Amino acid sequence: MTHKYNKKLHRSLGPAALLISLALLPTSGWSHGWAGKRFFPSTLLTEDPFVNDEFSFIVGHIKGPDEDGVLNRTTNMESEYTKTIFPNFGISLGGNVNFIDPVNGDADHSGFSNMEVGAKYQFFTSARYESLASIGLAASIGGTGNPNVPEGDAFSTLAPGIFFGQGFGFLPKNMKFLRPFAFTGLVQANVPTTRESFIDGEFSRNPNTLTWGGAIEYSIPYLQAFVKDVGIPAPFNRMIPVVEALATKCIDRACSGTTGTINPGVMWVGSYFQLGLEATIPFNDATGKHVGVMAQFHILIDDVAPKSLGRPLFGN
């Protein structure tokens, strides 16, 4: 047993050492969320393609069906803290609480969803081409939440994913007013750790799902600083209109169909924090028939506390 354990530990040292070395590769000193002169804001609905020290608080409200088709008014409050360990590697801790008000008059109920932890590695940044990309693994820890609310399952779910961002500063001069556009995207698998669960006296299967989505944003700060100063005054000169979309599809275990939303809105980026506001529009009946709303308060910790909490634990 000891021999097997040592072998396992020994085998894991190599990849761990490689990961640490990659994470410690010297960076140019650029902070995260930036690729050259392009700043990628933290979007509300879709995961960011970068690693940063940040704290995010999002509240949303929507009327829509739950997994059993029961129509509810749901208010969800979500918070997440991300900390860089190495310059390009960070971990996150998040949780959310749901307040559910059934439309049919049944009793309200509320509770926390499962706690979420994650790790992300930003493996690519190009200042010249305004590009960045990360890979990550998130985990929803089963049993840490209330089983009567969404994502409060007894089982855990692992979600490996890839995230990327691309600015359009490379466009030619005759398309210069399109340069403030940027696109971010993600593809993520959601893999339950158990194939089926025993709930309310019967077995139900836990499907694997695939999530994909992205955001298209137009940066007013980028327009005025790098394309043409058209004289847009504060506070509008710090706004970034955005349209996000996120979809999830069941891929096995007698589950099919896709649900998702399209979220048009706007973000305002200050020096130390960011605000966001989006409409949540279901894109099919399975998702719902009513428009909801999401709002964000996001702290840029690397700007607020650059010499302490806002810097990586190891490395520059």
Partner 1 sequence: MKTATPLCKIAFFLLLQLWLAAVQAHAFIDHSQSKTGAELDVPPKAIVLTFDKSIEAAFSSIKIVREESQKVIATGAAQGVEGESDKLVLPLSELSPGEYHVYWEILARDGHRTMGDYTFVVR
Positions that interact with partner 1 (CB under 8 A): 28-31, 34, 36-37, 39, 55, 79, 81, 93, 95, 97, 112, 115, 127, 144-145, 221, 224-229, 271-272, 299-310
In the complex, what is the shortest distance from the CB of residue 105 to partner 1, in angstroms, rounded to a whole number? Answer: 26
Residue (81 or 155) nearer to partner 1, CB:
81
In the complex, what is the shortest distance from the CB of residue 309 to partner 1, in angstroms, rounded to a whole number? Answer: 5
Cβ contacts of 150 within 8 Å, gap of 6 or more:
66, 67, 74, 98, 113
In whole angstroms, what is the distance from residue 105 CA to residue 244 CA?
Answer: 33
In the complex, what is the shortest distance from the CB of residue 196 to partner 1, in angstroms, rounded to a whole number? Answer: 25
CA angle, 118 then 119 then 124, to 5°: 140
In the complex, what is the shortest distance from the CB of residue 201 to partner 1, in angstroms, rounded to a whole number? Answer: 25
Residue (131 or 287) nearer to partner 1, CB:
131
Residue (232 or 266) nearer to partner 1, CB:
232
Cα–Cα nearest to 182, from 136, 123, 145, 223: 223
Residue (2 or 308) nearer to partner 1, CB:
308
In whole angstroms, what is the distance from residue 243 CA to residue 272 CA?
Answer: 23
User: Do the beta carbons of residue 72 and residue 101 sit within 8 Å?
Assistant: yes
Q: What is the number of H-type helices and E-type strands within the chain?
A: 3, 17
Residue (63 or 176) nearer to partner 1, CB:
176
